Structure 1
Amino acid sequence: MKLNDVQLYRLSIAGRTSSALSLLGVATIFTTFAFSENFRSPTHRIMLINAFYNLFDFIATMISVSGPAAGDESGLCRFQGFCLQMFPVADVLWTLAMTWDVVLVVYYHYEPERLRRLEKKYLVVITTLTFVPALVFLFIKTSDKGPIYGGVVFWCSISPNWVLFRIIFYYAPIWFIIVLVFILYIVIGHEIFQLRHELMLTNNDALILSSTASPSNESIQQRTNRDDLKHLEGPLIRQQSAVSLRKFLLMPILFFLALLTTWVAPTINRIYAFRHPGQEPYPLMVAVAALGSLRGFWNGIIFVSMRSKARK
């Protein structure tokens, strides 16, 4: 779709403003994690790792329309296309990793240290799944379709000439993961509702992250009254490193909602473009440029607002 210079300029302003806010959100995550121990929960740690991936994502969106303007064969366009293929997909995979941590806590009472040991595995799997196709696409080119990475109005990504690749390696896995995360939260919510009093919840809504603590905690409940239990839970919580179940659940859910709002507009735009090539509404394009680059801003707000008071 051909846009005039004024329209392209407005698209660039929308995208770069959102990208700047997201880079500020990433910087907030780095700074807060570095200087405060109250932001070191397992979910905070995953959000920190994800912020490193987001950094390259938002650098790419900050390039904005300069990528397509440089030409499909340019290093700038190819770099932008690589980043916008790898890092947005990695973002949704880190959301799945956070959700899986919640599953492990609720169903298997994983302790923070056990969750931390999983981070290296998450890192290897997510990086491999996203880096390999993004790298391979740099070297794919045909005489009739051109290179895979090409200009798509407001940035370089998988070219419209390779629309099937864009569906298979981009939108399909992203929405599959989003739906999977949604289903997992439904299952988790049902489990918590059914077994709330059996999940080692203390009176201040803390969940003791230890599978070994369950029998002793149940026996304490059988042998003591409510006041005695409240008194005895204090040493036990400190020994087992408890976290707020409400905040442990709320933070990944908010992260998921921020992710969901990010992908609605681009997906609608892509479906519309598929059905009506070259006729995408300009306001929808502006929404894609703005919302598609704002994810890091919401992540920064969520990261700071979910303070881990239990670490005191």
Structure 2
Amino acid sequence: MRTTSTLSALGVITIIVAFCTSRHFRNPMHRLIFINAFFNAFDVICTMISVNGPLAGNRSALCQFQGFLNQMFPVADVLWTLAMAINVYLIVFRRYDGQALKRLERKYIAVITTFTFIPALVFLFIDTDDKGPMYGSVTLWCAIAPKWVLIRIVCYYVTIWTAIIVTIVLYILVGIEIAKRRRDLKATSSQDIPLDNTVMLADDTASHDKGNPDAIGVAVTTEVGVRVHHSRAGSTSHSLTNSTSSLQPTSVCSVTTARHLAPSHQPAALSFRQYILMPLFFFLALLSVWVAPSTNRLATFVDPTFSSFPLLLTVGTTGCLRGFWNGLVFITMGMKSWKRQKDLKKGKRREREAQS
């Protein structure tokens, strides 16, 4: 357990260092993972304590502290994943831009912290003569004790799986919408998801070059015979037509211009890798973590005598890897995005050199 907890600690440190030192890891999804890394740090402390909590005794300060951490921070990790799914939904369906998403972060912090902290704190003070303290040994660590198993299922697993199910529903809705838009606009690149029929968001390359992670780089793609209006600072607009505006679209021109919009403007499309694929992989990693412990808890609830060493070993291993998986997704997807931005810059430089 401490070995896998060490991997999670490295994942947490990697997220924090990468976010603080590189502007390529600062889009709205990266920021949510960065914030969650501090919650993951307390989760790592919990798993590092390991069996020392139960060995110290159910009423010991160490066991109670570990139980508190175990109740609060794994649930928070799931809720942060739900927050990422909400962001994806808001981008696709509500046209939220980087600044609008950033304003939600304080609300996410307040809601998630309050929702997880209050029950975790209250459970510290529950101790009855017949059942003992709420927090006690569950073999691998201290959490809600077996005698309080119904409370653990309702306040822990039901909460977690409700958030997971809501997350799945949101991604299904987003997937259906993206499929519709890709079918309606065949000329879209594989890396960008159109939010309307004419304008496409660049992969944050230009905005990062300007040092502003919340600015939005927009590449305007025009269709022959389609009138395109695009305002800058709420005042300027232009129109492109091929004779009359009544003509049907017959072809799509190449990207004609690139613009930097203020954060208050709505984005017209989103980077598939940064805004869809990364949070989706983040969610899949989390899902793999919760299958084994949920199966074990349900089995012991149905049959209190149930015991499976391989399942228990899987619970201990996967339960200590939350920070590791988060760090792996953060770095892997972030590096791919950074490489793509680098390749785009090289391509533009070669074009300029060829023209000169």
TM-score (norm 2): 0.76
The partner residue of 2:259 within 228, 231, 235 is 235
Matched positions, count: 295
Higher relative contact order (CA 8 A, sep 6+): 1
Deviations for 1:100-132, whole angstroms, at most 9, x for unmatched residues?
A: 001111011111011001000011011000000
CA gap of 1:155–1:236, structure 2 versus 1, over 3 A, is same
Q: CA deviation at 1:57?
A: 0.7
Q: CA deviation at 1:180?
A: 0.8
Q: In 2, Cα distance between the equivalents of 1:174 and 1:293?
A: 17
The letter for the 2-side match of 1:91 is: D
SS of match in other structure, 1:183? helix
Q: CA deviation at 1:243?
A: 4.9
Q: CA deviation at 1:245?
A: 2.6
CA gap of 1:55–1:143, structure 2 versus 1, over 3 A, is same
1:202 aligns with 2:200: yes
Greater mean alpha carbon deviation, residues 160-169 or residues 188-197 = 188-197
1:249 aligns with 2:276: yes
Q: CA deviation at 1:286?
A: 0.6
Which residue of the partner structure matches residue 185 of structure 1? 171
Which residue of the partner structure matches residue 351 of structure 2? none
CA contact (8 A) 1:106 1:188 kept: yes
CA contact (8 A) 1:57 1:83 kept: yes
Q: In 1, Cα distance between the equivalents of 2:238 and 2:195?
A: 14
Q: In 2, Cα distance between the equivalents of 1:38 and 1:146?
A: 50
SS of match in other structure, 1:163? helix
Matches within 5 A, 1:300-311: 300-307=327-334, 308-309=337-338
CA gap of 1:236–1:33, structure 2 versus 1, over 3 A, is closer
CA gap of 1:205–1:54, structure 2 versus 1, over 3 A, is closer
The letter for the 1-side match of 2:195 is: L
Which residue of the partner structure matches residue 88 of structure 2? 102
CA contact (8 A) 2:15 2:37 kept: yes
SS of match in other structure, 1:172? helix
Which residue of the partner structure matches residue 223 of structure 1? 241
Greater mean alpha carbon deviation, residues 35-44 or residues 240-249 = 240-249
1:51 aligns with 2:30: no
CA contact (8 A) 1:206 1:243 kept: no
Greater mean alpha carbon deviation, residues 214-223 or residues 292-301 = 214-223
Q: In 1, Cα distance between the equivalents of 2:285 and 2:174?
A: 19
Q: CA deviation at 1:217?
A: 5.2
CA contact (8 A) 2:216 2:261 kept: no
Q: Which structure has the greater CA radius of gyration? A: 2
Q: CA RMSD in A?
A: 2.9
Unaligned regions of 5+ residues in structure 1, if any?
1-14
Q: In 2, Cα distance between the equivalents of 1:94 and 1:203?
A: 25
Q: In 2, Cα distance between the equivalents of 1:68 and 1:203?
A: 53
1:33 aligns with 2:8: no
Q: What is the aligned-residue identity percentage?
A: 50
Which residue of the partner structure matches residue 281 of structure 1? 308
The partner residue of 1:75 within 29, 36, 61 is 61
SS of match in other structure, 2:200? coil
CA gap of 1:17–1:220, structure 2 versus 1, over 3 A, is farther
Which residue of the partner structure matches residue 109 of structure 2? 123
Q: In 2, Cα distance between the equivalents of 1:56 and 1:95?
A: 17
SS of match in other structure, 1:223? coil
SS of match in other structure, 1:306? helix
CA contact (8 A) 1:209 1:243 kept: no
The partner residue of 1:269 within 296, 311, 317 is 296
1:61 aligns with 2:47: yes
Q: In 2, Cα distance between the equivalents of 1:203 and 1:103?
A: 16
SS of match in other structure, 2:143? strand
Q: CA deviation at 1:194?
A: 1.1
Which residue of the partner structure matches residue 145 of structure 2? 159
Which residue of the partner structure matches residue 160 of structure 2? 174
Q: In 1, Cα distance between the equivalents of 2:305 and 2:59?
A: 22
Q: CA deviation at 1:53?
A: 0.4
CA contact (8 A) 2:43 2:70 kept: yes
CA contact (8 A) 1:109 1:209 kept: no
Q: CA deviation at 1:28?
A: 0.3
Q: CA deviation at 1:220?
A: 7.3
